[in-house]
Amino acid sequence: MRSTSVLVALAALTGMAAAKRDCRRDRANPGKGWYWIVQGDTLNSIATDFGTTADEIAKLNGIPNPDSIPSWVTIVVPCKP
Q: Domains in the chain, start-ordered, CATH in brackets?
A: 21-78 (3.10.350.10)
Share of the chain above pLDDT 90, in %: 65
Q: How confident is the model at residue 2 (pLDDT cuts 50, 70, 90)?
A: low
Those residues whose C-beta lies under 8 Å from the C-beta of residue 40, and which sit 6 or more positions away, are 71
Write down the pLDDT at residue 1: 55
Higher pLDDT, 15 or 27: 27
Cα–Cα distance, 27 to 29 (Å, whole number): 5
Averaged over 40-67, what is the pLDDT?
95
pTM for the whole structure: 0.71
Segment 5-28 shows an average pLDDT of 60
